[in-house]
Amino acid sequence: MKKILLTIIFTLTILIILPDCSGSFDVQPRELYISMDTEFIKGNTSEKLKVINNEALQINVTWYLDNPSDDLIRSNRTKIPNLSWIDLEPKFQIISENSTNKFFIHLNIPEDSNYLDKHWEIWITFKVEESNFIKFEHAVRLYIDTPVDLKKDNNIDTTSFVLVFVFLIFIVFLFIIYFYKKKTRS
């Protein structure tokens, strides 16, 4: 009984003596979907993650990417082949007391038929750089769905259509001139 009481007193003393931990921040949303319908997205996806500082002092928030382990990944998802295809801007942010800042997701997935119709899951983990004793982290599940098929630019089809249309107008114009000359001769 004395050992348990001493352990409780020791633990409480350590928690009181140690400075506060920076753990009062939040990240929203917890899950984010990026779906590419007709082409691979290059650059800013216009998707953003909000980091909310609930502390009474400013915090320095950074992030890192991680492929989840096989037992934690969703059943219909796989790991992305290369984490360098994903980037967040900025690399870190100093967030003022009781305020919110945003991180923006950038993608650069190569246009390759091997990456068509893929369903990837990546974890974006945010952490406070200057925490004292316990480091709190918040992970966001990022789901990326690649196109099923690449739709080629319609420029070729449009150009072909315009050329055929111009050719038909030219033929019609030639017929009009031919019949007009034939009519004036008679």
Q: What is the mean pLDDT of each run of 10 residues along the chain (186 residues)?
A: 73 56 74 87 86 85 89 90 91 87 90 89 86 74 88 62 84 82 72
Q: Domain of 127: which CATH number?
A: 2.60.40.10
Per-residue confidence (pLDDT) for residue 79, from 0 to 100? 92
Per-residue confidence (pLDDT) for residue 128, from 0 to 100? 85
Is this structure's pTM higher than 0.75? no
Total number of domains in the chain: 1
Q: How many CB atoms lie within 10 A of CB 151?
A: 10
For residue 125, being part of any structural domain is answered with: yes
For residue 4, being part of any structural domain is answered with: no
Per-residue confidence (pLDDT) for residue 22, from 0 to 100? 43
Question: Residue 93: in which H helix or E strand, if any?
Answer: strand 92-95
Instruction: Express each pLDDT in 119-133 by its tens digit.
Output: 999 999 988 876 556
For residue 13, being part of any structural domain is answered with: no
Distances in Å between the alpha carbon of 96 and those of 90, 91, 105, 128, 131?
Answer: 16, 17, 22, 13, 15
For residue 169, being part of any structural domain is answered with: no
Per-residue confidence (pLDDT) for residue 186, from 0 to 100? 63
Per-residue confidence (pLDDT) for residue 167, from 0 to 100? 85
Per-residue confidence (pLDDT) for residue 20, from 0 to 100? 47
- Distance between CA atoms of residues 44 and 29, nearest Å: 17
For residue 18, being part of any structural domain is answered with: no
Domain holding 115, by residue range, is 23-145
Per-residue confidence (pLDDT) for residue 122, from 0 to 100? 94
Per-residue confidence (pLDDT) for residue 130, from 0 to 100? 66
Nearest to 29 by CA among 49, 46, 52: 49
Sign of the CA dihedral with 146 first, then 152, 158, and 164 last? negative
For residue 175, being part of any structural domain is answered with: no
For residue 90, being part of any structural domain is answered with: yes
Per-residue confidence (pLDDT) for residue 12, from 0 to 100? 61
Q: How many CB atoms lie within 10 A of CB 6?
A: 10
